[in-house]
């Protein structure tokens, strides 16, 4: 079990970047006020929330990529977790909510501006295992705020 902290909570009416807010209600369909331009590929109960690690964003920045919290479309940017525990099947408590991780997030061209030469496959689980964002479904909704504790219960 590892613990971390919410350092950025990001939403948009659709598209990227998702922009920071201080807190938001998380329900079965995702965060209140958050939307998606492509509802066939994003959102819905199995992909209600997208999560990424500050440590991975910082490593990508050191490689020269112009990525920043929310620019890759994640709703929650977390610091301090053992990212290796963030795998499908794990449960995550964050603020007043409980999320079960469902899948790795396949990167798409909409996030290309966050990568040198548009190489968004840099965060593909297939091409670079351990660098992907993760999707989750909401088992119990609640308010999530900046600074909230995040606890991962491995599967």
Model pLDDT, residue 135? 97
Q: Is the peptide bond before 78 cis (omega within 30 degrees of 0)?
A: no
SS (H, E, C) the chain: CEEEEEEEEEECCCCCCCEEECEEEEECCEECCCCCCCCCCCCCHHHCEEEEEHHHHHHHHHCCCCCCCCCCCCCEEEECCCHHHCCCCCEEEECCEEEEEEEECCCCHHHHHHCHHHCHHHHCCCCCCCCCCEEEEEEECEEEECCCEEEEECC
Cα 4 from chain centroid (whole Å)? 14
pLDDT of residue 62: 98
Both tokens assigned to 119:
């190489």
CATH number of 2-133+140-153: 2.40.33.20
> What is the pLDDT at residue 154?
81
- Under DSSP, the state recorded for 106 is P
pTM over 0.85: yes
Distance, CA of 48 to CA of 109 (rounded, Å): 20
Cβ count within 10 A of residue 63: 11
Q: What does each of the 155 residues of the chain score in pLDDT, given as a tens digit?
A: 899 999 999 999 988 999 999 999 999 999 999 986 555 555 678 999 999 999 999 999 999 999 999 999 999 999 999 999 999 999 999 999 999 999 999 999 999 999 999 999 999 999 999 999 999 999 999 999 999 999 999 87
**127 Rama sector, left if φ>0, alpha if ψ -120 to 50, beta otherwise:** alpha
């Amino acid at each position: 079990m590892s613990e971390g902290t919410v350092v950025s909570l990001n939403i948009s009416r659709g598209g990227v970047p998702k922009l920071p807010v201080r807190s938001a209600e998380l329900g079965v369909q995702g965060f209140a006020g958050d939307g998606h331009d492509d509802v066939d590929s994003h959102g819905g109960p199995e992909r209600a929330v997208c999560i990424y690690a500050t440590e991975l964003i910082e490593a990508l920045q050191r490689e020269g990529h112009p990525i920043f919290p929310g620019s890759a479309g994640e709703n929650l940017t977390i610091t301090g977790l053992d990212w290796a525990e963030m795998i499908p099947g794990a449960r995550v408590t964050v603020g007043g909510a409980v999320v079960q991780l469902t899948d790795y997030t396949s990167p798409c061209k909409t996030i290309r501006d966050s990568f040198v030469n548009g190489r968004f496959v840099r965060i593909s689980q297939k091409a670079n295992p351990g660098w992907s964002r993760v999707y989750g479904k909401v088992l119990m909704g609640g308010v999530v705020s900046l600074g909230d504790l995040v606890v991962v219960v491995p599967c």
